[in-house]
Structures are given as C-alpha cells and as structure tokens.
Amino acid sequence: MRSLFGLTAIATVAGVPCAQAADVLFQGTLDSICILGLTTPGTLGVDAEGRLSSAAGLPGTVTVLTTGGTRLNVKAPVWTQTPAAYSSGGEVFEYSYLGLSGLGVANVDWTSANSDVALPVLPLSILTVNARAANPSDSWVDGTYQMKVEVTCSAS
C-alpha cells in the first residue's frame, strides 16, 4: 500500500503543466491612530481688552493625523513662565481653536473649560490654537510671559 502511494505522487508531479502561479498578499491592520506633531509656538501680545493674548500676536499650531475613532482633548492654558516681579493668581485663562482640512468639526470658541471631541478620519490637518489670560488687576509687569495649552489625542 505504501508503494502505491509513492507511485501516485510521481504521476501527479509529472502531470503538472509548465506554468506556475503564486498568490502574493499584502496585509495591514490600522488601529485607531492619532498623531500630533509639528507644533509651532504662538506669540502673545496685549489685546484691546488688556489681556495677554495670541489673538494680538500669533496662534500656535499643531498637526493632527488620525484614522478615526479618536478623541481630541484640549485643556485651558496655564503659566509656564512669568516675570519674577509678577504676582500670579486670579487670572482668567481661555483658549480657542480652529481646525483646518476636516478638523472644522472640532472648532471651539473662547472657553476656560476643557474640551473633548470625537474626531473623524482625518488626513494631515492643522489645528490652530489661541490662548489668552486676563489679569484681575489689569496690570502686567515687564518681562517674559509664557503659557501652554495642552492638546491630547487618544483612542476613544
């Protein structure tokens, strides 16, 4: 019986035509991906209301790329640097942002509250962020002021 099996195998090979084909497969799986990058810092100026504001300077920008199923979280500004002579406390921090190239759904007007929005599938897009601080005493001392707005993108 074993001998018969061997002969069968030989006959099968001899009967195969010359042409040979091979299937080639490429595969990739995308999970919910969100990439923030290429940030450019903004600049601050004093606006007509006496606030330190990027609206009186330049907004900051960050690029956003996501495969969808992600959330964009933005927190209110905080000081990262103030002049030594400046006494902080009681400021009203606000931010706003504007999404370009499909991020329009994520537009947020000036607010002090954290925002959290779901993002659709986005090719490379730009988020333009503004920040400002109102001083209760309405006075700023000379020196360098720096504030940051934390932007986070994560899976839902």
Partner 1 sequence: MLRQLKALAGAALLLPMLSAEGAACTLIATGGTLGLAPNGTTYTSELGLPSLVTISTTLLDGSFTITIDPPTLVQSPVGFVPISLEQKTVSAVSTLDLNFAYTSGQIQRTFPTQLLSAAVVTLHHRLNAASFPSGTYRTKTVVTCS
* Structure tokens belonging to residue 40: 């450019």
* Structure tokens belonging to residue 102: 């499909």
Minimum CB distance to partner 1, residue 4 (Å): 9
* 3-class state of residue 117 by DSSP: strand
Nearer to partner 1, 7 or 48 (CB): 7
Minimum CB distance to partner 1, residue 40 (Å): 17
Minimum CB distance to partner 1, residue 126 (Å): 13
**143 conformational bin, left if phi > 0, alpha if psi -120 to 50, beta if neither:** left
Minimum CB distance to partner 1, residue 1 (Å): 10
What is the residue type of 105? V
Q: Considering only residues 70 through 89, tell me which ones interact with partner 1, judged by CB under 8 A.
A: none
Minimum CB distance to partner 1, residue 105 (Å): 14
Nearer to partner 1, 18 or 84 (CB): 18
Nearer to partner 1, 17 or 89 (CB): 17
Q: Considering only residues 25 through 64, tell me which ones interact with partner 1, judged by CB under 8 A.
A: 25-33, 35
User: DSSP letters of 49-103?
Assistant: TS-EEEEEEE-EEEEEEE-SSEEEEE---EEEE--TT----S-EEEEEEEE-TTG
Choose the binding region for partner 1 from 20-28, 85-93, 111-119, 139-147 (rule: CB under 8 A): 20-28
Residue 31: CB atoms within 10 A of its CB come to 7
Residue 99: CB atoms within 10 A of its CB come to 21
Residues that bind partner 1 (CB under 8 A): 2-3, 5-7, 9-10, 13-14, 16-33, 35, 65-69, 121-124
